[in-house]
Structure 1
Amino acid sequence: MTADVVELLEAASLLVPAELATGNDLTVDDVWEHLAHDEWEVALGVLEGLGDIRRPALDAGFWEALAAAAEQLHLERSAAWCHWRCSEARHGVIRADLTLAPASESRRQTAFSGAGVLRPMWDIGHRSPTGVPALDIAWLWVESTPFLGPGERSSVRLAPLDPAQWRHLEPGQVITMHEGRDAGGTAVVLELRPPVPPPGTSA
């Protein structure tokens, strides 16, 4: 396992521009330093931080390598996050500010895991031939907390089942989350980012 993890982290490191640095001024050189001292989890964390830099955005291959390394290290949440980012690299990023309905107004009575396991339906403006809302499905990742409960608010990331259906969204647009027939929360779209072009292609 050790060799596999090191090879995966080294492969991811080679995809990061040398001048890229996190807000803590950590760079690829720090990754190599941690690998030299067998500090694999720390190296993984630094690479995840480098992957958060907007420009240049890192492609799906970078996140695939990190996800595989996290799986080798049995870091389940980190692996899930890297798989999520891999999907975003391929399909684009949708971020929103979500407020859940209070328990008194919703079927949800307990908090849910924010690690991309909830797959609610969303009213994003589509209508059926009869004029009723045609709901679209998207997985949900909560950014600021491991769990989100009734009445709580957080920024979230959405991974649509059919990304093409969501391309009309604009920042500031209000969309509604559904769990079953009733609305479970409302969200304001914060940010939309396009997919990351694969290496050797233009944006």
Structure 2
Amino acid sequence: MKIATKRLLPALGLACLLPLGLLAGCSATEVTRVGADEEIALSDRWNATDSRLVAEEMITDMLSFPWASEFEMDHSRKPTVIIQSITNKSHEHIAIDTFINDIKRSVIRSGKADFVASGDERLDIREERREQELNSRDPVAQGQEKAADFVMTGTINSIVDQVDKKRVTFYQVDLKLVDMTSNIEVWNGQKKIQKVQDKASFGL
């Protein structure tokens, strides 16, 4: 009985310590709410702050060119823009839809141009109109869509250079705006971002 008791006590002690260890591990997790515009750079990867700042700076540059004011003088209305494509050619996954929405918000906020819905969005809107014609007492008239006056295209590229424990990631965003009637390129913008990260291992 004495031998059994000696063996049982360490086992009971270990059993008591395990729940305490689990509780300590759970209590170590802490979540802090921060503003959506506040940058939290956990790595050198493209993030939401990059998307927003690049969109704002490039659209500010785009609207400083004379194409918008000249169009409004000639047509007595604001120009309409459509984004044809922005291609991610970088080494990592980038949420292009988020970047496109940041661009749209910057343009619309300026009040100097309007956006036309993209191809997929137009199909959804047309389907909704058809539903309204069948079911609504006051349907929206068909055939009144505005065509785009200017089309935007672009790319996001990246270069990664690493030596020992230091890594430099370079991003380059190129956007251009083309007049749909004349095919003239009325604006060509470029934004570069360079990030440096020091770490023992990166895990690309």
TM-score by length of 2: 0.28
TM-score by length of 1: 0.28
Larger Rg: 2
Q: Which has the higher helix share?
A: 2
